[in-house]
Amino acid sequence: MTGPGSSRFSLHGRVAVVTGAGTGIGRGTALVLAEHGADIVLAGRRPEPLEDTAKEIEKLGCRTLVAPTDVTDVAQCERLVRLTVGELGRLDILVNNAGGASTKPLDDWTPEDWHRTLDVNVGSVWFLSRFASQPMLEQGKGAIVNISSGSAFFAFPAGAPYGASKAAVNNLTMSMAAAWTPKGVRVNAVASGAVRTDMLIEDSKKHGLDEAALAAGNAMGRIGDPEEIGYAVLFLASDASSYCSGQTLWVNGGPKG
């Protein structure tokens, strides 16, 4: 039970690392977590979008730290965690959002495409979660939220490596939860449906698809906004989901009959 005026969704006093935080789902998630009181470490490859997100977070009265990071580099993942704890004193929430996707015929994927996709979508989750878990386990509490995709659940010939990488994220989520939940660190995932991001819109245009076509497969008849994924992350990162670990929540506008 919570007292008067308190909320299980409150993140006051907590520090969250969000990867890929300069644009899209990462930016939307960082803003949602800050709106609920979290101090935010913004990680990503390009400093400029991170700085823009930081300005918005500062307006909310939260501390923020811009940390340019290539999450495919193991050493940089470790440095990100050390920087967070060193500058802000703790690490309570990790949102593994950084990822990449492209679509092309199955036979056109090169070995380099395969390794790049797996490194950014799975390798980053594996290595960064392991580094982040260390301070969380020391304090006996923490939450990791991995951003997956609906592509993990169905055949996706044009983006087979991407779909496979997100299926791997779902399985890692369960495995890490089984290892760490007994010690106080919950691990969950959000599988995103079609969301209005630059990456999705640009890739869709290559195939002659507009937003209406992207939305045709869900019950709401629209694509989502990044903040709508952010609120799902908020649920899983906060005490509102205190009895939830090892789960993948598919946020996709609902099944269409």
Catalytic residue numbers, as ranges: 148, 162, 166
Q: How far apart are CA 133 and CA 103, in angstroms?
A: 33
Query: CA nearest 221: which of 255, 248, 189, 246?
Result: 255
CA distance 11 to 237: 9
- Residue among 238, 129, 136 at smallest CA distance from 174: 129
Residue type, 128: L
- 148 in Cβ contact with 173 (< 8 Å): yes
CB within 8 A of 126, min separation 6: which ones?
172
H-helix or E-strand containing 15? Answer: strand 15-19
Query: Tokens in use for 24?
Result: 């899209």
Gap between the Cα atoms of 126 and 130, Å rounded: 6
Tokens 């039970």 found at:
1
DSSP secondary structure string, 196-228? Answer: --HHHHHHHHHTT--HHHHHTTBTTSSPBPHHH
Residue 147: strand pairing partners: 190
- Calpha distance 112→108 (Å, rounded): 11
- The residue type of 25 is I
